[in-house]
């Protein structure tokens, strides 16, 4: 069984093929870095895996079945995070609202659910955040809380959409380490989208690079090459390696840095409801 498999899948949004005839297979337990320029379809791909978007052609298989909205085996950390500045809500209550939050009626958290939330917070080293109000947390702390939330319910597949945005370099490293550690222990498949390849190099098993409607899955050495990336970016790309770092350059400029400076808001252009 594969964790995620696309077979000649085409995903179209607003008359635009975000992915065209894409095929790849992700194995269970793999840590996949999902990279590519803005608008390449990182968020769209995750939404398709979640069953929020259906492919217009081809098939998508997730954990051996067709994508199903509300699949409890998938943990998700969305990129667009709604912040409610005035609401003073404890970290625990914030997470608790998502546990079976799809059920009708009054909110209710049972003793076993409380225990699961506590354990998961401890797992990512966030137990101290349970009693802290959300509005007083730093970006890194909030991210840790959201990561704990994504791990509740023992998912087999974790979709993390740009979890490093708005974190400083040290917190980015910590976040990557926590994800890698927990997912190795529990054999969770991870799709981790990011702007920058270099921080992820030590953690990831393979890279899924998106661009120009295409998707290429392979090891860093197979994918991060001038011919492959030139095809995905639709422009002449050079790959420069220096001291264990890889720089993807276009006409002498680092494309990842350029991308990043354009994306402060962290909003994906392909976000649809």
**Chain positions contacting another protein, by CB under 8 A:** 47, 50, 52, 69-70, 74, 76-82, 84, 86-90, 93-94, 97-98, 100-108, 133, 149, 273
Q: Which is nearer to another protein, 89 or 122 (CB)?
A: 89
Q: Which is nearer to another protein, 132 or 171 (CB)?
A: 132
- Side by side, the strands of the sheet bearing 214-218 are 74-77, 157-160, 189-193, 31-35, 206-211, 214-218
For 110, phi and psi rounded to 5 degrees?
-80, 170
In the complex, the smallest distance separating the C-beta of residue 260 from another protein, rounded to whole angstroms, is 22
Q: Which is nearer to another protein, 17 or 93 (CB)?
A: 93
Q: Which is nearer to another protein, 103 or 241 (CB)?
A: 103
In the complex, the smallest distance separating the C-beta of residue 217 from another protein, rounded to whole angstroms, is 23
In the complex, the smallest distance separating the C-beta of residue 273 from another protein, rounded to whole angstroms, is 7
In the complex, the smallest distance separating the C-beta of residue 133 from another protein, rounded to whole angstroms, is 6
Residues contacting 220, CB < 8 A, separation 6+:
197, 201, 204, 206, 207, 246
Q: Which is nearer to another protein, 54 or 89 (CB)?
A: 89
Q: Which is nearer to another protein, 47 or 61 (CB)?
A: 47
- Run of H or E residues at 6: strand 4-13
In the complex, the smallest distance separating the C-beta of residue 75 from another protein, rounded to whole angstroms, is 10
- What string of DSSP letters covers 28-88? TT-EEEEE-STTSSHHHHHHHHTTSS--SEEEEEETTB---TT-TTEEEE-SS----TT--
- Run of H or E residues at 94: helix 91-96
In the complex, the smallest distance separating the C-beta of residue 265 from another protein, rounded to whole angstroms, is 15
As a whole number of angstroms, the distance between CA 238 and CA 248 comes to 6
In the complex, the smallest distance separating the C-beta of residue 225 from another protein, rounded to whole angstroms, is 34
End-to-end CA distance of the chain, in Å? 30
Contact 13, 44 (CB under 8 A): yes
């Amino acid at each position: 069984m594969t964790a995620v498999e696309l077979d000649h899948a085409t995903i179209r949004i607003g008359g635009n093929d975000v992915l065209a005839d894409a095929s790849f297979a992700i194995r269970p337990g793999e840590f996949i870095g999902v990279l590519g320029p803005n608008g390449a379809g990182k968020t769209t791909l995750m939404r398709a895996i979640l069953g929020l978007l259906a492919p217009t052609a081809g098939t998508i298989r997730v954990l051996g079945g067709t994508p199903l909205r509300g699949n409890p085996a998938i943990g998700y950390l969305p990129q667009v995070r709604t912040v409610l500045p005035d609401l003073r809500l404890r970290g625990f209550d914030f997470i608790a609202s998502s546990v079976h939050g799809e059920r009708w009626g009054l909110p209710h958290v049972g003793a076993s659910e409380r225990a699961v939330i506590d354990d998961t917070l401890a797992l990512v080293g966030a137990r101290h955040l349970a009693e802290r109000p959300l509005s007083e947390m730093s970006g890194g702390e909030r991210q840790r809380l959201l990561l704990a939330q994504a791990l509740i319910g023992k998912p087999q597949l974790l979709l993390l959409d740009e979890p490093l945005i708005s974190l400083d370099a040290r917190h980015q490293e910590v976040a990557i380490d926590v994800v890698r550690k927990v997912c190795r222990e529990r054999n969770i498949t991870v799709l981790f989208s990011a702007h920058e390849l270099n921080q992820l190099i030590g953690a990831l098993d393979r890279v899924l690079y998106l661009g120009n409607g295409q998707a290429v899955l392979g090891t860093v050495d197979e994918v991060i090459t001038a011919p492959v990336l030139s095809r995905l970016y639709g422009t002449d790309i050079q790959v420069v390696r220096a001291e264990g770092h890889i720089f993807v350059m276009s006409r002498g400029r680092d494309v990842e840095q350029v991308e990043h400076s354009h994306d402060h808001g962290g909003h994906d252009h392909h976000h649809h409801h």
